[in-house]
Amino acid sequence: MAVCTFFGHRDCPETIRPELRRVLTELIEHHQVDMFYVGNQGGFDRLVRGVLRELAMEYPHICYAVVLAYLPGENDR
Domain ranges of the chain: 2-70
* pLDDT, position 69: 76
> For residues 46 and 12, what is the distance between their CA atoms, to the nearest angstrom?
9
- 51 and 17 Cβ atoms separated by less than 8 Å: yes
pLDDT digits (tens, 9 = 90+) for 55-64: 999 999 999 9
Within 10 angstroms of residue 47's Cβ, the number of other Cβ atoms is: 20
Would you say residue 70 has pLDDT above 90? no
Within 10 angstroms of residue 69's Cβ, the number of other Cβ atoms is: 11
Q: Model's pTM, two decimal places? A: 0.85
* pLDDT, position 9: 76
C-alpha closest to that of 2 among 23, 28, 22: 28
